Amino acid sequence: MRIAVCIKQILDPRAVRLSRSREAIDPRQAARIVNPPDRYALEAALRLRERHGGEVIALSVGARDVSDALREALAMGADRAILLSDEMLAGADASGVARALARAVEHIGDVSLVLTGERALDTGGGTLPARLAQELGWPVVTDASEPQLEDSILRAFQRDEKQRWSVSVALPAVLAVTRQREKPRYPPALRIAWAYREAEVETWDCDDLGLSPEEISARHTEERNLVMPPERNLGFILSGSPEEAARSLVAELRGKRLI
Amino acid sequence: MDFSFPPEMVAFRRMVREFAEEEVRPLAATIDREDRVPWETIPKLRQAGLLGVPFPQKYGGAGLGEMGYCILLEEMGRVCTSTATFIGAHIGIGAMAIYLGGTEEQKQRYLVPLARGEKLAAFALTEPGAGSDAAAIRTRAVRDGDRYILNGTKIYITNGSFADIISVMAVTDPALGARGGVTAFIVEKEYPGYKVGTIEDKMGIRGSATAELIFDEVEVPAANVLGQVGLGFVTFMQSLDVGRVTLGAACLGGAETALEMAIRYARVREQFGRPLAHLQSVQFMVAEMAAEIEALRSLVYRTAWLVDTKQPFTKEAGMCKLLGSEIASRCVDRAMQIHGALGYSRDFPLERMLRDSRIAELFEGTNEIQRIVIATELFREAGVRIRP
């Protein structure tokens, strides 16, 4: 089975600082990392390959330095890495990126499953899986975990706070993987050495994919403005005896509809 | 001159840091309290390929050289000195002796499983009567046909209680002493007569096992002589040189953690109506820590570069160990001073770090020995031969 995994390189959210104007991020301190949910998607792909054989191909869009993220995917165990890199793609919105990725999946050929992380932690949009599925004309399962293959039916779990249930989908399909029990593996030291010193990251441009500027640059989404997440409210300390404090804690949680 | 790390080293550090934070840090206090080796970490270290980092790929390693190995120990030193010590004894001196002194056959047989982490190594030099004066060792190896018979006792051997493969120094010719009379051997723990004695009850690095090893008529095949007969000191001193660089790296990691803790605490702890960060006495301590750490970092990675580019590095290795251990101890001590009584509490990692850091001034050659090593090299360059 041939599985494509979409990988996005983002600025490490733990290290990102905001500039003084608080309207832009200051990328100087922040390392570029693989979007953490995408590592879960890659882990799920590698587990499927280990059980059923086949090939895992990591796929990303961006400038040349994004190949670093793909090398990390190779180090974790991906068989091939392909970077879609073209100046035309630099201005593309989510729909343009989805179209380019879908075209790449078709260009690779014989792909029966596309895995993505549930969302990118930088923009937090989470629309890529659905857009990709639409471009490919395939079904999509979002918030999926622990995918298992039975014949050509893929089963995965979805969950809410209270329960989880199993969903099945016929391949080919797009699956957006949420955080799951199986943590992404550490890339073994030996594969890191290979991935960064010797491995090849294939680079495709729009010509290779037969994509015209109109197909990519037509913007279907518009960015109105950026707002910072609300400041966290400070906590407060409950006073009184342990019994009283416990009672007021429960009341407080009930009041906020948390329990 | 380019001071940036190559991309594979950046990626390797990222992986090791995540590993250290997720797998090693959560156990650091537990193994110290429970006085035990972090057994649950070892298979994970093996899986991540972290037990053979510096060795070439053809010997089962990752091929990341001394620089990669320094990164590994710096990151481990940041979170757990016991785990760093375990790795250091396994790779840096145990397996390294076989890599540097072994024949191709010995490397295939012993280094490959060690580098893959399938077997674990120790390095046995110290004896009750021979510490800094390593030439005073009394463990005897007597040739008997195609084998040697070993008798004697080694003490303070890191990983000794569980190591599968032990590099051992023994006297083959008492008349010649250190110059021509000492030979290195590879001993397997299954050899009859090999026994683990008492386990040391230590002040620090309590998560690493330090054992007494007893050799009672142990038969070792002559094929297990490491390096040349009579030249054991050369083999062992070379491994110790390499080990000293990475010991400096582990100390660098410990010192960095101490500095980060000091800064974090000085930002939030208020006295006299404002955070400690505004007190000049605290600023001075933090500034001195940072300056020493920066100097140590440059020294450690420049020395790693000397090793990887096959240039002489004995003097610099001594400096890494000497300065590294003293800087780490000073930084932890200053961080504790900034934390006040909180730093002295066992609920907080600083008291463990203080106990752990002290060992680095003692083992793998005391700091006094390092000074002699450095001075010997300096005088050698000036045409004077220092004799012990």
pLDDT tens, position by position, B201-250:
999 999 999 999 999 999 999 999 999 999 998 888 888 999 999 999 99
**pLDDT value at position B134?**
82
In a domain, A160, yes or no: yes
Cβ within 8 Å, pair B57-A191: no
Domain region containing A162: 2-217
Q: Which of B156, B145, B152 is nearest to B169 (CA)?
A: B152
Number of A:B CB contacts under 8 A?
59
- Tell whether A235 is covered by a domain: no
Residue written as token pair 């970490």: B41
> For residue range A51-100, what is the model confidence (pLDDT) as tens digits?
999 999 999 999 888 889 999 999 999 999 999 999 888 878 888 999 99
* ipTM at complex level: 0.90
Reported confidence tier of residue B169, pLDDT bands at 50, 70, 90: very high
With contacts defined as CB-CB under 8 Å, which chain B residues touch A197? Answer: 8
- pLDDT of A38 > 80? The answer is yes
Whether residue A81 lies within 8 A of chain B, CB to CB, comes out as: no
Collect all residues of chain B within an 8 Å Cβ-Cβ radius of residue A193.
8, 12, 57, 62-64, 68
pLDDT score of A20 = 64
Instruction: Assign residue A169 the CATH number of its domain.
Output: 3.40.50.620
Give residues with Cβ within 8 angstroms of B174, minimum separation 6. Answer: B140, B181
Q: Which two tokens stand for residue A226?
A: 């950026």
Q: By a Cβ cutoff of 8 Å, what residues of chain B touch chain A? A: 6-8, 11-12, 14-15, 18-19, 44, 47-50, 52-53, 57, 61-64, 68
Taking each continuous run of H as one helix and of E as one strand, the counts in chain B are 14, 10
Quick one: chain A helix, strand, coil %, rounded to 5? 35, 25, 40
pLDDT exceeds cutoff 80 at A28: no
Specify if A167 maps to a domain.
yes
With respect to residue A238, please indicate whether it lies within any of the assigned structural domains: no
Q: Which residue of A has its CA nearest to B55?
A: A190
In a domain, A101, yes or no: yes
The first and second tokens of residue A21, run together, are 């104007």
Task: Say whether B15 and A33 touch across the interface (CB within 8 A).
Answer: no
Q: Which of residues 22-41 of A touch B (CB under 8 A)?
A: 31, 33
Active-site residues of B, by number, are 364
Bond prior to B174 in cis (omega within 30° of 0): no
Reported as a single tens digit per residue, the pLDDT across A199-255 is 999 999 999 999 888 888 777 777 777 776 677 777 888 888 999 999 999 998 998
Taking 70 as the threshold, does the pLDDT of residue B285 lie above it? yes
CB atoms B12 and A189 under 8 Å: yes
Which residue has tokens 């009041």? A255
Selecting from A33, A186, A191 the residue whose C-beta is nearest the C-beta of B19 gives A186
Query: Smallest Cβ distance to A189: which of B18, B44, B64?
Result: B64
Domains, chain B, ranges and CATH?
Answer: 7-120 (1.10.540.10), 122-231 (2.40.110.10), 234-381 (1.20.140.10)
Is there a domain that residue A231 lies in? no
Instruction: Choose the closest CB to A186 out of B15, B63, B64.
Output: B15
How many separate domains does chain A show?
A: 1
Q: Is B367 exposed, middle or buried (0-12, 13-18, 19+ CB in 10 A)?
A: middle
Report the run of H or E that residue B171 belongs to, with start and end: strand B165-171
**Which pLDDT tens digit goes with each residue over B24-67?**
999 999 999 999 999 999 999 999 999 999 999 999 999 999 99
Check A186 against B12: CB less than 8 A apart: no
Q: Band the pLDDT of B335: cuts 50, 70, 90.
A: very high
Residues in B closer than 8 angstroms to A71, CB to CB, are: 7, 11
A4 membership: H or E segment, kind and range: strand A2-6
Per-residue pLDDT reduced to its tens digit, A100-158: 999 999 999 999 999 999 999 888 888 999 999 999 999 999 999 999 998 889 999 99
Chain B residues near residue A186 by CB distance under 8 angstroms: 15, 18-19, 44, 47-48
Least confident interval from A15-19, B180-184, B278-282 = A15-19
- Identify the DSSP state of A65: G
pLDDT of residue B101: 94
B47 vs A contacts (CB less than 8 Å): 185-186, 188
- Please give the backbone phi and psi of residue A8, each rounded to the nearest 5 degrees, phi first: -115, 135
Residue among B6, B7, B49 whose CB faces A189 most closely: B49
Give the three-class secondary structure for B216: strand
Separation CA A48–CA A180 (nearest Å): 14
Residue for token pair 């450690």: B300
Across the interface, of A68, A185, A186, the residue whose CB is closest to B7 is A68
> CA nearest A183 in B: which residue?
B22
Which residue of B lies nearest to A69 if distances are taken between CA atoms?
B11
Is residue A223 included in any domain, yes or no? Answer: no
Residue A246 lies in a domain: no
* pLDDT at residue B12 is higher than 90: yes
Cβ separation B8–A192 shorter than 8 A:
yes
pLDDT computed for residue A23 by the predictor = 67
* H-assigned helices in B41-171: 42-47, 65-79, 81-87, 96-101, 104-106, 112-115
